[in-house]
Structure 1
Amino acid sequence: MTEQLQERPAVERHDFEYALIRAVPRVERGECVNVGVLLHCRWRGELLVRTLLPEAKLLALDPRVDLVGVGRALHGIEAVCAGGAAAGPAAGDSPGQRFRWLTAPRSAVVQPGPVHTGLTEDPQAELERLFAQLVA
């Protein structure tokens, strides 16, 4: 029996970097909840973000967590990702520079996780996949 191999069209995949955004209601305890994903795709010059404020999970870790403050921090991250005037001092920075700034280690209630890499055909679809798998 002869099997014919069908040639698949070449799919162009490009590198991307991503990091989880974590809420750590009590930094001294180190317990965290994933609240978002940042994704930087250099070849498209894109910095994407998707966030979620899981109030019940955060309150389970610390009944006194400042939910309004966490929400404001997430909105700030979204503004920096969007660029423009809403990004404040980072407005003139490239998407890569803004990604590096957002993923710099910090001891705060909202902080980035480690940066990971991958290959993708579609950065937006990759963001949605990561968000569904790691946050939602």
Structure 2
Amino acid sequence: MRRPFEYAVIRLVPRIERGEQINVGVLLYCQQLDFLSARTHLDVDRVRALAPDLDLPAVAEVLDSWDRTCAGDGPAARMRLGERFHWLAAPRSTMIQTGPVHTGLTNDPAAELERLMAALVR
């Protein structure tokens, strides 16, 4: 049986003032299956084309923190999965941000996350 899920593309906006962005991951939440996960992939060549002086290790650390938040590390441990998802997907004006939240149906959220990564990021 397919269950509803929500997802948002995680974007890197190296220079906020220019508005250019690179898709670097996907955040996916399926309430009925108690699933919340983020997958990220930083394409160094694409990033360097837009922002050759960007601190890539710092960006990678921020992206890693999305995975840790989904897993409930640190202060996120006190939050329910849905709260974590909506906190991560909330609009922000930082270098790492999400696009709009979209919905779908799936019977395997992990596989859906990988499909979305292949289609939207890699």
Q: Is 1:36 matched up with 2:25?
A: yes
Structure with the larger helix share? 2
Count the aligned residue pairs: 122
1:61 to 44, 50, 55: 50
Deviation at 1:73, TM superposition (A): 0.7
Amino acid at match of 1:55: V
C-alpha separation in 1, matches of 2:31 and 2:37: 11
Structure 1 segments (4+ residues) deviating >6 Å: none
Q: Does 1:73 align with 2:62?
A: yes
Q: Does 1:106 align with 2:95?
A: no
Q: Which has the higher contact order (CA 8 A, sep 6+)?
A: 2
Q: CA offset at residue 64 of structure 1? A: 1.2
Q: Provide the TM-score with structure 2 as the length reference.
A: 0.97
User: Residue type of the partner of 2:120?
Assistant: L
C-alpha displacement at 1:33, in angstroms? 0.5
Letter in 2 for 1:121: N
State the match for 2:108 in structure 1.
122
User: What is the CA-CA distance between 1:91 and the residue it aligns to?
Assistant: 1.1
What TM-score do you get using the length of structure 1 for normalisation? 0.87
| Residue 41 (structure 2) pairs with residue 90 (structure 1) | no
Q: CA deviation at 1:46?
A: 1.0
Letter of the structure 1 residue corresponding to residue 102 of structure 2: H
Task: Tell me the CA shift for residue 76 of structure 1.
Answer: 0.6
Deviation of 1:92 (Å): 1.2
CA root-mean-square deviation: 0.8
| Larger of the two Rg values belongs to structure | 1
Which ranges in structure 2 are unaligned for 5 or more consecutive residues? none
What stretches of structure 1 of length at least 5 have no aligned partner? 1-11
Whole-angstrom CA distance in 1 between matches of 2:62 and 2:99: 15
